[in-house]
Amino acid sequence: MTIPQSQKIGRPLMKLIRLRGWPILQQLHIEEQLLRTSSENWCIINDGTREPTIVMGVSGKPAELLEIKPVLHDQVPVIKRFTGGGTVIVDGGTIFVTFICNKDAVPDVQPYPRPIMSWSSLIYNEVFQETGNFHLRENDYVFGNRKFGGNAQSITRGRWIHHTSFLWDYEIRNMAYLKLPSRAPEYRSARGHLEFVCRMKDYISRSDFIGRTIRVLGTHFSVEPEELEAIQTVSSTNFSPSSRLLTTQEIESALCEAESRKSLACSASS
């Protein structure tokens, strides 16, 4: 969709990359590279990812967050990403939207977690204007009191990234790989996964959501499509992304850790 030239005046440039079914680890690598080595503003939209994958935040501990035995048995890949935040399981039903901005491109937004989160909610308020009962609730996007979008950020000197995994659809059985986190938002009220989350597909189609997001972005930025190949050909050879796949050995060690905690808890209570 093209935006009339007259509307582009005064808005900072934002390059848009659209992907479909891109592996989440590769997406995270591209994002971290752009955050740390580019000086431009970016929006990345990845419509689904190929295989079900668990993605933990930078400080995530598998023993605390995952049901390790089924994860090992079913060989579910586990990634530790470079941004903060919690654990999600993503698959073809997940839509990823990422904003990477120079702080000067959004000068009214202080480069700290809460102002960035508020700014993002203003964008999505416009996207979901006539849809559901959309809110930013603590740090999640919800319809009513059910979460459909999880957020995470990384803030560097002068730049930041805010990325969201949207549950357009999900497999109930995949939720069984995740434990109830000890650090949970208050509004969760100890609800299990299935009572806590909802599917975006009950409110909006994939194409409408992506179309509206790009349109709203276009009112804040001068959006220009960019091909992924253009970034990959100039990728920095000095840059080493920190998001990584955990090894089977690491996950097995987490199982030992989880089991030794359980037996300590049993001895303490007997």
Partner 1 sequence: MASSRLFWASRAASYLKISVFHRGFSTVLKDLKYADTHEWVKIDGASAIVGITDHAQDHLGDVVYVELPEVGAAVTQGSSFGAVESVKATSDIISPISGKVVGVNEELNNSPGLVNSSPYEDGWIIKVEVSDANEAKTLMGADDYSKFCEEEDAKH
Structure tokens at 227: 């091909």
Residues 180-209 that bind partner 1 (CB under 8 A): 183
Q: CA 35 to CA 42: how far, in whole Å? A: 9
Contact window for partner 1 (CB under 8 A) among 10-18, 63-71, 106-114, 245-253? 106-114
The residue (of 151 and 222) whose beta carbon lies closer to partner 1 is 151
- Which CB atom, from 77 or from 84, has the smaller least distance to partner 1? 84
Among 109, 175, 176, 228, binds partner 1 (CB under 8 A): 109
**Crossing angle for the helix pair 113-127 and 206-220, nearest 10 degrees?**
120
Minimal distance, residue 179 CB to partner 1, in Å: 17
Q: Which residues of 17-35 are buried (b: 16+ CB within 10 A; e: fewer)?
A: bbbeebbbbbbbbbbbbbb
Instruction: With CB under 8 A as the rule, give the number of residues binding partner 1.
Output: 27
Shortest Cβ 72–partner 1 spacing (Å): 25
The rounded distance, in Å, linking the Cα atoms of 91 and 61 is: 21
The whole-angstrom separation of Cα 68 and Cα 270 is 25
**Cα 232 to the center of its chain, rounded Å:** 22
Residue 97 binding partner 1, by CB under 8 A: no
Residue 210 binds to partner 1 (criterion: CB under 8 A) = no
166 near partner 1, judged by CB under 8 A: no
Q: Which two tokens stand for residue 76?
A: 């579910």
Stretch touching partner 1 by CB under 8 A, among 4-12, 76-84, 125-133, 211-219: 76-84
- Determine if 164 is a binding residue for partner 1 (CB under 8 A): no
Distance CA 124, CA 213 (A): 7
The residue ranges that bind partner 1 (CB under 8 A) are: 57-59, 82-86, 107-110, 112-117, 139, 151-157, 183
